Structure formats: C-alpha cells, structure tokens
A and B are shown apart, each in its own frame.
Chain A
Amino acid sequence: MYSLEFTVNGQLCQVAVDLKTTLLEVLRDKLFITSPKVGCNTGDCGTCSVLMNGKLVRSCITNALSAQGKEVTTIEGLAEAGELHPLQEAFHDNYGAQCGFCTPGMILASKALLDENPKPTREEAKEALSGNLCRCTGYGKIIDSVMAAAEQMAQAKS
C-alpha cells in the first residue's frame, strides 16, 4: 500500500491506496464524496469527471497515485459560503438537469470550459461537453445552462 496525499476541495487528505486504485474509488469509497458517479468505469461516459489541477479528467481511469500532491475539485467544492456557483444556478434555472446522474460531470466540464474560455460559442460549449453523456435531456437545456452561466458571469464581472 502507498500513501496518497492530495488536496480535495481545498482540504488536505491522506489515504492508503494500492497500485490499481482509481481516483474515483478514493473519492467515493475512502472520502465518501459521492458526486462523481460510477457510470461506465472505462472513461467513456463522463459522469465521474473531476478537475485535477484545474483540468477536466476522468476519475474512473485516473490512477490514484498520479494525483499525488495535486488539487482535485468535485462539485462539492464549487459552492462558496453557501452560495451556489453561477453554473449550478444556471443548470437549476434552465432545467439543465433531469435525473441528475450526469450533472456533476456536466457542470465540472462546463467549469473547465469557462475557466479557459469565458465567452464560448454554442459550438464550443458542445465540443467541451462532448465527452459527457446524458440519457435524459437531449443536451439542449444543458447547453442553454452553460451559455446562461457564461453570460451571467460576464455581467457579474463588468
């Protein structure tokens, strides 16, 4: 067993992992952070997505030891002082979630996009979310939510 030390949502964590442990297993089974879901477990569906050092990754196929010393953000880390992140507000207001299983991954993929490109086109938003599958919504409302959040965040800045 190896000791993995990394930061999750601003908090330093230390857990024992083995060679085959995934970041998703660490988050869900050791730290009880259950927003990243176990969907396909092969990196295809995107519902396990988290941010690692600000970049979108699939926690289900991320070897836990490759997260050593890094900063991981899950959806639990987005709200600040009880205030929802504008993306969370926008998904709520625009009906961007139905069953909710894909939603944490969708919002984190959207955050990765807006951090790099605060004013994306609809096409760019679709491309950024292209690896996140939703079986309920048909994606329209999800893209609407991302665009609404981008606009809201731009207004808040100006």
Chain B
Amino acid sequence: MYLDYQSAKPVDPEVIAAMTPYMAEKFGNASSLHEVGDWSTEALDSSRRTIAHFVNAREPEEIIFTSGATEANNLAIIGYALRNKQKGKHVIISEVEHISILNIAKYLRKNGFEVSTVPVDFTGTVRLDKLEERIRPDTILISIQHANNEIGTIQPVMSIGKIAREKKIVFHVDAVASEGQIPIDVQRDFIDMLTLSSNDIYGPRGVGALYVRKGFLLNPLIIGGGQERGLRSGTEDVAAIVGFAKAAELALQYMPEESKRLRQLRDKAIKTVFETVPRSYLNGHPTNRLPNNAHFRFDFIEGESILLSFKERGIAVSTGSACSSQTLEPSHTLMSLGLLHEEAHGSLEITMGRFTREADVDTFLEALPGVVKRLRDMSPLTKTEVGM
C-alpha cells in the first residue's frame, strides 16, 4: 500500500498507451526532413502546445523540454544568472526550496554570486516582508517554489510575482510539488520561468520542462545540435515528451475532481490522527496546503522507526527524520519552521494520489495509534516528559 506519492508516482495507463507508438512505429528523429521525421516533429509540436496550455503560457515556443525538473531548475537559475551577470550578481531563494535549488545556490556562491535566503513562518509560508527586505538593486532573480514538496504549504506566488515584476526582477517558480494538484497560471501569477516534471503528473520519468517567458535570454547548459531553440541540445525523447503531454492533458481534465477527493481524504486523515494519537501535530499550513499532503509529528518517537513499523505492515510512508537520510541531518524544511531536532525526528509524511483509495487511508489510520504506542512504550522520553 503506497502513501508516498510525493517521492514517485506510477505512470498512468493512458499515458503508457499514448507513448507506445512512438517507441517502435513512429521512431523518427524530429530534426529529419523525411516523413518518418515529420511524425516526430508533429508529435513534438503538439506536445509543446499541450504543456503551454497546461501552465497558460502565451506561446508554445516558451516551453523547453528537458530531462526533468532538476535540469530545468539548473537551466533556469544557472542559465539565467550566467547570461545576466552584468546586470547584477544577487539571487534570492527561500529557505524551504527543494534540495536541487539549494545546491544550485551553493554552486552560484562558489562562482561569484551572492544568494540570500528568505525565511518562512511556522506554517512554512514565505515571509513577504522578509523577501522585500532582501531585494537589492543588483538582485537579478527570485526563485520560490509553488508549494513545498515536504510539508505541502502553498506559497503566495502571485504576491511574490507582483513584487518581482514591480522591481523588474525575474521570477522563477519550481512547480514540481504542486503541478496537477492546483492550477498553474504563469500570466496571472507574473511568473517568468517555471519548472515542471513529468512523473509528478503521472507521466514517465526522465522528462520535464522549463517555461521561459518570451524575451528572456539564458545560457544553455547542454551544447550540441541546437534543439529546443539552442537551449537544450540533444535529440528529443519524443515518446517521453508525448507521455508528458498526455499526462498534462489528463491532469487538467482530472484536477478539479481529483483534488477535491484527495482534500477530503487528507482532512479525514488529519482529523482522525488528532483524535486517536495524543501529542500529535500537523507540520505546515493547516488549510493552505497541497490536497494530497498530510505531514505529522509525534512527540517522543523517531521517524525512521515509524517508517519501518509501517514497512513491515506493507504500508509505504515517508519521514523527515535525520536517521533516514544519507547526511544524518534533519530536513532543512522542518528546521526552517523553527522545529527542534527531536521534533523533526518524529515526523511522518503521507502523500496520496490518483490511485489511493479511502480504504488505504483507513488501513493507515487504523495502524497508526498502535505503531505510535508501541514506540512510545519503548521510549525513555515518554515517562520522563509527561508520565504517559
């Protein structure tokens, strides 16, 4: 039973069906001038239009296909910063960005740029006052996520976009966590660049896209045959791109109903956990959060132990505990909320998706109180702290 949709999603069977012809029958290279090549060119053009429509871009040419969201983030931030360094060498990100953005920021710092980070409040929402405080005359780029990938808090991207537009600063949004769950509109929200991933909307892995508003110049990171307007060379993976477009089409079609259904499951999960597990808390915003995300923490117990306990029951969940990470550092997002190490250790994240049934959530909710109790009975902290 899978409650970790934030980590990976299965590919929708309709997507697989749409992709299949482009593996063997319509295998052409989109750059070739013969008919076999034309099939691929047409598929590529049509996919580009679909993705442009998905984010309400004005023109299909504003979509650059990449190998995924990490590459799109690299192209957006490094590509823009390198191209525009004569305008300024200051970039702003938030403290709760995805690890790829944090590491890109490190790279920029090593290469002569300054990167400021904007703090968040206890709900994980970016502080607009602090953002304005960090803007300088040499700020060239602001990069803030649409929603947080761990705790699910939705960021005020339209307000941030407005601030950036007024100050003539380019605004990049990483929409990977939110895409397919809440609408994205690059025009309404004053977004200049936007990162998308295919797998996060039930498309194949290994493909993503960067929306770049017309008129902005970037340095390419991959040089070659000049595909994707020279911004991303390499023969296009047409089958993957067709799958990505099909996934976007389905996401637009399913979103209203799917989000409503997941929101109900999420709220039921939150309510039940509060009722059945003493000293349990919700991380992130109580209401302004992704429809599929419920992120808890429990006093006196440790997240990897919780995860293992569910694993033996065949239930896949996630944790922000340091004990489950390669670095043994707790999640930077949880620390940015102002949580203590031991609180971050006790976190448990469930993320639901298209194929999650209410019965799955019920199974999880039935197992949770026992899992928590068993670990608390074993924990020396429980008695010390509250005599539970």
Is B truly associated with A? no
| Chain B residues packing against A (C-beta within 8 Å) | none
